[in-house]
Amino acid sequence: MATLRSQLLRRKPVTAMAAETGADSGAGELTRTIGLFQLSMIGIGGVIGTGIFFVLAQAVPMAGPAVVWSFVIAGVVAGLTAVCYAELASAVPVSGSSYSYAYATLGELAAMVVAACLLLEYGVSTAAVAVGWSQYLNQLLDNLFGVRIPEALSAAPDAGGWLNLPAVVLVGLCALLLIRGTSESAKVNAIMVVTKLCVLALFVVIGVLGWNSNNLANFAPYGISGVYGAAGVIFFTFVGLDAVSTAGEEVKNPRRTMPLAILIALATVTVVYVTTALVAVAAQPADRFEGQEAGLAAILEDVVGASWPGTVLAAGAIISIFSVTLVVLYGQTRILFAMSRDGLVPSVFHKVNPRTITPVRNTVIVSVAVALLAGLIPIDFLSEMTSIGTLVAFIVVSVGVIVLRVTAPDLPRGFKVPGYPVTPVLSVIGCILIITNLRPITIAAFLIWTAVVLAWYFTWGIRHSTLGRAAARDEQARKDAAP
């Protein structure tokens, strides 16, 4: 029993992580090509997407105009966690994100639980945003050419179709870009992020013209439970903040660049989300959001009385959702890359193509799995499943800050959490509050998924763990040396 306990609680030293990834020397397996601006754009691009262009159709019917507070609550909780991420990213600048942080602070078993969260968080959120892409693509095609992709080929089976083909195509395009190279992907993403910020600024400017205070009169018709419930649905978009920390091995000067990029992304996203949500609910009655496929585009068309603003916004949404899909798919592959290096998943996920310096096979496998989810599963269930994975991972990161302060107080940190230890404790409490307001079926599905991942760990991972095999070799060497 003591041996099993030591296996489950064994930690990967931060110094070992830094050495094998070239955090200080720059000599890692992947190439460091991403600077502060591009990394900030990865964070912003990973957050601003389906959450504002599409999820209002799910969130407003749950909270009414008070959905603005849902965005604020989600942003505050994400903000508390973001500063915890910033500290850990500056102390442990590797590709594994919160999986690696958990491995360094809480041990191998905790790392696998976090891995379950991240695999769910990234894989499902990529599928969720890809699902929303087909709806805006149809809106743009309808406005420009008067045609639409047939429902049979643009919706999941449970949503009345056969296959969401545009979602599958989107995942394939992102996979091709990631395979080509990280630097190219980061540059394309930065261009798309700047474009969608301009489009959202256009929405706010035009949307204010349709401001009607009467639309805000019955501000919170479903009470605080509705506000928290909507915050849970919205929260899945904040996975983009975690995506910044998955780029740890491809960032220049990671101890400084990563915390700064996280804070820049958080500030930008919070302002954009709250402003856009407020203008949206003031320009359109809350009861019209439910089932509104075109989302913000439809609101602008009503305000202006013409289709051109909706066409521009639909084009912006297509670019925006492409950017989110690219970022989150990237994050998923880098987490599996780190897990494979640790021996907890097969080595195929760790193989780097010598020409592109990217994990090509990893990217192909992940993309196929995500494409199947995007093509066959509706968005509402996907978004909630992503939220709970994100929330649990955020809890572990907040706890990890406290643990690392105690176990490694002298570890170099490029950033420290303000208001410690109150800030990480509030982060944990905020995440738990949102989790308790998710649907029971979502929580049950998450627990089943976690059990599946842990079953994998106990039947395969624990025996192939790089850390475990090193410990076994050391133990054998001691036995051989004993008289």
- Give the dihedral sign, CA 262/398/393/458: positive
What pLDDT is stored for residue 151 in this prediction?
Answer: 80
What pLDDT is stored for residue 348 in this prediction?
Answer: 92
Q: DSSP code of 157?
A: G
Cβ atoms 8, 109 nearer than 8 A: yes
Q: How far apart are CA 208 and CA 283, in angstroms?
A: 7
What pLDDT is stored for residue 383 in this prediction?
Answer: 58
DSSP codes of every residue in 15-83: HHHHHHHTTTT--SSS---B-HHHHHHHHHHHHSSHHHHTTHHHHHHHHGGGHHHHHHHHHHHHHHHHH
What pLDDT is stored for residue 294 in this prediction?
Answer: 56
What pLDDT is stored for residue 2 in this prediction?
Answer: 47
Task: Please report where in the chains the tokens 């009861």 appear, as a residue.
Answer: 287
What pLDDT is stored for residue 102 in this prediction?
Answer: 87
What pLDDT is stored for residue 159 in this prediction?
Answer: 65
Q: How far apart are CA 53 and CA 292, in angstroms?
A: 11
pLDDT by residue (tens digit) across 338-364? 899 999 999 999 888 888 888 999 999
CA torsion 396-352-165-310 (nearest 10°) is: 70
pLDDT by residue (tens digit) across 21-61? 655 555 567 778 888 999 999 889 878 865 676 678 778 88
Which homologous superfamily does the CATH classification assign to the domain defined by 2-477?
Amino acid/polyamine transporter I (1.20.1740.10)
Residue spans of the domains in the chain: they are: 2-477
What is this structure's pTM? 0.82
Mean pLDDT by 10 residues, the chain (483 residues): 65 74 61 88 80 74 89 85 85 79 86 85 76 78 84 72 84 91 86 89 86 87 86 73 80 85 89 89 84 67 73 81 86 90 91 87 92 72 66 86 87 85 90 80 83 91 85 71 68
